[in-house]
Structure 1
Amino acid sequence: MIRFFTTIGGFLLGSLLITLLLIFALNPSFLAKQVLSYGAKSFGVPSTNKVDKFLDQTIIDGAIDSPLALTYLGLDSLNFLTGHKSKLGDYSLEKSESDYEENLKQLNYLSRFNQNDMPEGNYNLQIKRFSLDNDIRGYESFRYHSSPVTQFFGAHLSLVEFLTDQHKVNNERDIQFYFDRINEVPRVIDEIIGFLDKRAESGIYSPEFVYIKAMGQIDTLSTGRIEEHPLYETLEKKIDEINLSKNKRENYLGDTKDLIREVFIPAYRRLFNTLESQSKNAREMVGVWGLPNGNDYYKHRLRIYTTTDYSADEIHNIGLKMVSEIQNEIRSILESEGYDISRPLPELYEVLNSEERFYYEDSDEGREQILADYTKIQNEAMKKMPDYFNELPKSEVIVKRVPVYSEQSAAGGYYQSPALDGSRPGVFYANLYDIRATKKFGMPALSFHEAIPGHHFQNALNIENSTQTLWKKFGYGTSAYGEGWALYAERLAIEIGLVEDPYELIGSLQSELFRAVRLVIDTGMHSKEWTRERAIDYMIKNVGSEESEAISEVERYIVWPGQACAYMIGRIKIMELREKARNELGDDFDIKDFHSAVLMNGSLPLTVLESVIEDYIAESKT
């Protein structure tokens, strides 16, 4: 017996230490899960029933298995157990197969329970089953219908964005981790190529423009001067912030050049060659109706994104009705401003679009002014928020330009959530590629949507919410809820007086019209066999979009079927629920409490959100 173990207590303590050392040596991920489970107590309230405990554990297991998630959530302190700072994600076919098997196991376990087993007001079981059903059906029936590489999203873009925006460099070890992750890029790219090859074997290809534009993005990231590569420029800036010696700085930057040239670029050229080869078999139709079992696939996507059972025809007709109503509102304002509304609306849009007072100078200075003006809009909006919300985000939101290498095909704006630990603010990315697509009178609506009180309130408040379980906060997300809230936020901004200028009101209405038109175009292309050109023409004539914006948006809907329908369907439901609460509560209705009910219960399918508001109404009556 070792002398240390001289007492029973010492023996037990020594045995415990040896056990922990063995666990650490043989299964560090197990210990990491225990550490994260303990730390997760600060992220949400402890689970009190079997279902919630099980769901919380799925979040912990999923995070530990995802190097990207651990970094994104700001959990780099676990790196000594996980080694995640040196890794990228698993994009292999085997991983998708194991995820499918895990989903089946989870659904089988949850089948032991029913909603009556859950505490009152707890809908987690219902939400998780809805999500699992969708994931399992998608794998079994439509595994290769979506492409992992498009002009709008894909690992070829997200890998670079992750390394430039998420990977922290606080010391020299972090630089080495950065290099390790660049060395992981070829593996990821080869896994993506493996999926694309399987997709091709199934006879499924993307439209030709998808290949052409994605290849253009890959070309940008794999040609040109190394010193201008985003991976080089980003590390150069981060190195300068940690004050290394000149020799170390030059050595690290030299190593970066070598990695980009010898590791990153060859991998991206392989992906380019794969896309170029497959583009020869590009499909002619842009809608998914032409894919195997395409109509069922589109119905499945609509269910995922709208969280309803609306048919494509029903959504198409809702869109047509709203387009007409909103256009009449716009005509009314134009008439009050002295425009001749006997002219067709497209002509009036052209008049507005030709007025130089609504544009910025096409220069670096003009683009900087756009970012400054967006920041001003956010600051002014924030001043009014305490009058309409019980909870306000602790995290700030900043405005940044969409990365140059992806802006040509990116959306007009998008939002990135703050880090879990508060180390990174929320970011509203504004697309400045075509400066004519940024009209001054349209900027407030986009800012309200992406930042305050839109996505930033929804996401930051959820991250900071200490009243929900871990899974309730992070386990489920849906565009119907998230985008529905952001579009509702645009309308709220009008109602509370943040939009008073008549042209800015036109801009807000055009934003709503934009989402109503999406209902028509998305269902038109994917269900009614519209062509890309017809969809672009419809958007230009009905919204007044610049051609570049219309092309970018329509091509987004082509590669992301169903998602564009979530915005207005979600907005409609939130507005309906607010009106219901106002009618039933009368003088007792408090918009702050309504917003708390909507925002402080996590992301929800619309059917569940309806139940949450019914509970809020009942509680407010007592």
Structure 2
Amino acid sequence: MRVKLSATATALALILAACGETSAPQQGNNPEAGAETTETAAATDAEIEAETARLNAWFDEKYEEQVMMSPIRLTFLGRKERNDEIDDMSYEAAQEQLQWRLDTLAEMEANFDYDKLTPEAKNSWDIWKYQTEQAEEGMQYFYNGFTFDQMNGAQSFLPTVLIQFHRVDNEADMEAYISRISEGARAGNQLLEIAKESASRGVETPDFALEGVIDQSRKVITGAPFTDGEASDLWADVQMEISNLQEVGEIDEARAEELMTAAETALTEDFQPAYENLIAWAEAELEDAPENPTGLTSQPGGAEFYNYRLKVSTTTDLTADEIHEIGLEEVERLQGEMEAVKEEFGFDGTLQEFFVYLRENTDERELYYENNDAGADQYIADATAAIDNIEGQLPEYFGILPQADLIVKRVEPFREQDGAAQHYYPGTPDGSRPGTYYAHLSDMTSMPKRELEVIAYHEGLPGHHMQISIAQELQDIPQFRTQAGFTAYSEGWGLYSERLASEMPGTFQTPQSEFGRLGSEIWRAIRLVVDTGLHSKGWTEEEAWEYFTENAAVTDQQARSEIQRYIVMPGQATAYKIGMIKILELREMAREELGDDFDIRGFHDTILGGGALPLELLERRVNTWIEDVKAGEAATPETTEVETEAETMDVEQ
């Protein structure tokens, strides 16, 4: 479940996350908020209930206002209001949305009493407050990131929205699709202006990022109706949607022809020129782009921007040096565990020699899939089987289970990259679209078999799909919290899920798969070292690659793809291990505090039952649960699905 951290990201973050990522919270109106003073009498239960209900109603009202600002966000939620539009990506629009947030914060603080709220409502207050404060701080860095890069640029995002998320059920939806083709061109041109402004301020996009943008952009506008040859992905999707409408009798042949003509015009006269402008800019920038780039140390204001990115990503005040040291310690610890598994595997040599053996023997069918479509299809089948297997174990570890379906799919050709990280897109809250685990399978030598199982658990169950689906299906918190996104929480949960899966029966049953699990965890520990190395210590791409390959069995392509990801998404990679460490600390704390009364299902329901939270608020929520258990006030979890207003819909893959 990713999302975006550059100038594009600043715009898209307002789109894709109704709350966005934020740093550590400040509770209430002042540092003492939430505690009674001698001058203030305790609120009655009736007053707390009434004020909480009033605030929650206000949150839902404001969330609806916020969602209606973003046509793309509405589409991701499965809604069709404004589905003929694409968001305004301009700096001015970002300023307007920030001002809206600041106005809502002032309104909340003026009209509601923090001391007359339930603990959960105080969490909601605190989240809204520091989201706003974080957005205000982040606005000064609007031009610091990369607007277009190989990971997050609109060059691949906008076609993905049209092909994967814009639903066409009737003629009006198809008309909206065509409108969105032209709207996408307008949005792309706005983002190009931001990229040019960033470049004028000294932000140099690395050569690999520009090459990725050029390659992806050319793929989007190659094929009919842009060039000779087979239909491009967009044109094929347009033809399919119009044909489907004609088959069900929604439109006749004449209207189908009119829609095809209108779509072709929008693609060739609006969409294609916007992409050609982007390609021309990227090619010009490429001439002077750094070939062995470092991180933000080379950018104007890079140190301040990186400190901000670390706060956003980890929701803590950990410094780059502290995170670097945590990474070094974790790498050393995990290599000790890997030594034991290497011996169980039966390899006679050093750990580094074992890394080389695993990395280079790509023709060994025990270690790798066939590097073709058949191998890719087998990967999808095996990942699906691993998820199906673990699903049966979940009731022993969770009281709350998600309703939403999950499917495993290969990434579309126009955005597929060799060795790129797998990812997850959430389904809709009403279940009309399933959650999707996407795999990059263009180079199967970058997808070793040992990693299949652990990635499936991270992206699917009990990882991202479970956490995000449960959050979207919650009914007892304000709507804005069901769509919250905090990287340290969500990716910390994903990495914790890998460890949790190893504690369940029937998983990681071979030394190879267990080594894959440890490899995945050390990967995230290495991220702490490499990300901070690049962005605070001046490491180059090559220096980062050397450290990575010396300490993990990843393939060369995986290592390079990862490091290039860290360069264009500063700080994001630090969230995984920091979040996992916190969840494990909270579990151990709860186990020690509760002894025989500790229940793993109750703990997991506490972690997941409030939606995504910054780590400080997550700890507060766990402490409240511990006190409730001690007081006999915490309900014993029963295995249930989250109640939702809409029934879950089965969706075919």
Smaller-chain TM-score bracket: 0.7 to 0.9
Distance 1:129 1:572 in 2: 26
2:77, 2:428 within 8 Å by CA — same for their partners in 1? Answer: yes
* Deviation digits for residues 241-286 of structure 1 (CA, Å, limit 9, x no counterpart): 4416666556544543443222211111011122223334535743
Distance 1:139 1:522 in 2: 23
Partner of 2:139: 139
Q: Secondary structure at the residue paired with 1:48?
A: helix
1:152, 1:409 within 8 Å by CA — same for their partners in 2? Answer: no
2:491, 2:576 within 8 Å by CA — same for their partners in 1? Answer: yes
RMSD: 2.2
Distance 2:591 2:504 in 1: 16
Distance 1:324 1:343 in 2: 12
1:331, 1:341 within 8 Å by CA — same for their partners in 2? Answer: no
* 1:125 is aligned to 2:125: yes
Name the amino acid aligned to 2:195.
Answer: L
Name the amino acid aligned to 1:104.
Answer: L
Name the amino acid aligned to 1:235.
Answer: V
Match for residue 411 of structure 1 among 413, 420, 430: 420
Q: Secondary structure at the residue paired with 2:408?
A: strand
Distance 2:627 2:351 in 1: 50
Partner of 1:31: none
Name the amino acid aligned to 1:357.
Answer: E
After superposition, where does 1:302-313 map in structure 2 within 5 Å?
A: 302-313=310-321
Distance 1:595 1:326 in 2: 25
Partner of 1:230: 233
Partner of 1:186: 185
Q: Secondary structure at the residue paired with 2:436?
A: strand
Would the alpha carbon gap of residues 271 and 114 (structure 1) be closer, same or farther in structure 2, given more than 3 Å must change? farther
Partner of 1:608: 617
Please, which moves more after superposition, 253-262 or 561-570? 253-262
- 1:486 CA drift (Å): 0.6
Q: Secondary structure at the residue paired with 2:150?
A: coil
Partner of 1:211: 210
* 1:282 is aligned to 2:280: no
Q: Secondary structure at the residue paired with 1:399?
A: strand
Partner of 2:25: none
Distance 1:291 1:529 in 2: 11
Would the alpha carbon gap of residues 411 and 73 (structure 1) be closer, same or farther in structure 2, given more than 3 Å must change? same
* 1:519 is aligned to 2:528: yes
Partner of 2:92: 94
Distance 1:401 1:455 in 2: 17
Percent identity reads 34
* 1:493 is aligned to 2:492: no
* Deviation digits for residues 27-47 of structure 1 (CA, Å, limit 9, x no counterpart): xxxxxxxxxxxxxxxxxx998
Please, which moves more after superposition, 596-605 or 291-300? 291-300
Distance 1:174 1:575 in 2: 47
Partner of 1:103: 101
Instruction: Count matched residues.
Output: 570
After superposition, where does 1:499-510 map in structure 2 within 5 Å?
A: 499-510=508-519
Would the alpha carbon gap of residues 114 and 291 (structure 1) be closer, same or farther in structure 2, given more than 3 Å must change? farther
Would the alpha carbon gap of residues 117 and 222 (structure 1) be closer, same or farther in structure 2, given more than 3 Å must change? same
Distance 1:410 1:404 in 2: 14
Distance 1:352 1:590 in 2: 44
Distance 1:248 1:105 in 2: 47
Name the amino acid aligned to 2:165.
Answer: Q
Partner of 1:170: 169
- 1:336 CA drift (Å): 1.9
1:393, 1:460 within 8 Å by CA — same for their partners in 2? Answer: yes
- 1:54 CA drift (Å): 3.7
After superposition, where does 1:462-477 map in structure 2 within 5 Å?
A: 462-474=471-483, 476-477=484-485
Match for residue 60 of structure 1 among 61, 64, 75: 64
- 1:223 CA drift (Å): 2.9
- 1:553 CA drift (Å): 1.0
Q: Secondary structure at the residue paired with 1:400?
A: strand
Distance 2:419 2:61 in 1: 35
1:306, 1:566 within 8 Å by CA — same for their partners in 2? Answer: yes
2:531, 2:573 within 8 Å by CA — same for their partners in 1? Answer: yes
After superposition, where does 1:430-445 map in structure 2 within 5 Å?
A: 430-445=439-454
Distance 2:392 2:238 in 1: 37
Distance 1:620 1:272 in 2: 59
With structure 2 as the length reference, what TM-score do the two structures score?
A: 0.83
Partner of 2:605: 596
Q: Secondary structure at the residue paired with 1:428?
A: strand
2:368, 2:448 within 8 Å by CA — same for their partners in 1? Answer: yes
Name the amino acid aligned to 1:100.
Answer: L
Distance 2:332 2:345 in 1: 20
2:146, 2:203 within 8 Å by CA — same for their partners in 1? Answer: no
Match for residue 339 of structure 1 among 335, 339, 347: 347
- 1:414 CA drift (Å): 0.5
* Deviation digits for residues 369-422 of structure 1 (CA, Å, limit 9, x no counterpart): 111111111111111111111111111100111111111168321001111221
1:316, 1:524 within 8 Å by CA — same for their partners in 2? Answer: yes
After superposition, where does 1:389-428 map in structure 2 within 5 Å?
A: 389-408=398-417, 411-428=420-437
Segments of 5+ residues of structure 1 without an aligned counterpart are 1-44
Would the alpha carbon gap of residues 441 and 371 (structure 1) be closer, same or farther in structure 2, given more than 3 Å must change? same
Q: Secondary structure at the residue paired with 1:170?
A: coil
Structure showing the higher helix proportion among its residues: 1
1:134, 1:300 within 8 Å by CA — same for their partners in 2? Answer: no
2:418, 2:446 within 8 Å by CA — same for their partners in 1? Answer: no
Distance 1:343 1:374 in 2: 27
Q: Secondary structure at the residue paired with 2:366?
A: helix
After superposition, where does 1:11-90 map in structure 2 within 5 Å?
A: 48-49=52-53, 51-76=55-80, 79=81, 84-90=82-88
* Deviation digits for residues 560-598 of structure 1 (CA, Å, limit 9, x no counterpart): 100100001000000110111111111111111111000
Name the amino acid aligned to 1:228.
Answer: A
Q: Secondary structure at the residue paired with 2:347?
A: coil
Name the amino acid aligned to 1:276.
Answer: E
Distance 2:50 2:64 in 1: 13
- 1:230 CA drift (Å): 1.4
Segments of 5+ residues of structure 2 without an aligned counterpart are 1-48, 632-653
With structure 1 as the length reference, what TM-score do the two structures score?
A: 0.87
Partner of 1:15: none
Would the alpha carbon gap of residues 190 and 551 (structure 1) be closer, same or farther in structure 2, given more than 3 Å must change? same
- 1:111 CA drift (Å): 4.7
Please, which moves more after superposition, 334-343 or 315-324? 334-343
Partner of 1:536: 545
After superposition, where does 1:323-402 map in structure 2 within 5 Å?
A: 323-342=331-350, 344-345=352-353, 346-350=355-359, 355-402=364-411
Name the amino acid aligned to 1:289.
Answer: T
Distance 2:374 2:253 in 1: 32
1:46, 1:469 within 8 Å by CA — same for their partners in 2? Answer: no
1:494, 1:500 within 8 Å by CA — same for their partners in 2? Answer: no
Distance 1:455 1:46 in 2: 35
2:473, 2:482 within 8 Å by CA — same for their partners in 1? Answer: no
- 1:192 CA drift (Å): 0.8
Name the amino acid aligned to 1:125.
Answer: W
Name the amino acid aligned to 2:69.
Answer: D
Name the amino acid aligned to 2:101.
Answer: N
Would the alpha carbon gap of residues 410 and 542 (structure 1) be closer, same or farther in structure 2, given more than 3 Å must change? closer
Name the amino acid aligned to 1:599.
Answer: L
Distance 1:90 1:137 in 2: 21
Name the amino acid aligned to 2:126.
Answer: Q
Please, which moves more after superposition, 212-221 or 351-360? 351-360
After superposition, where does 1:439-454 map in structure 2 within 5 Å?
A: 439-454=448-463
Distance 2:622 2:486 in 1: 18
Distance 1:107 1:246 in 2: 53
Partner of 1:273: 280
Q: Secondary structure at the residue paired with 2:431?
A: coil
Q: Secondary structure at the residue paired with 1:358?
A: coil
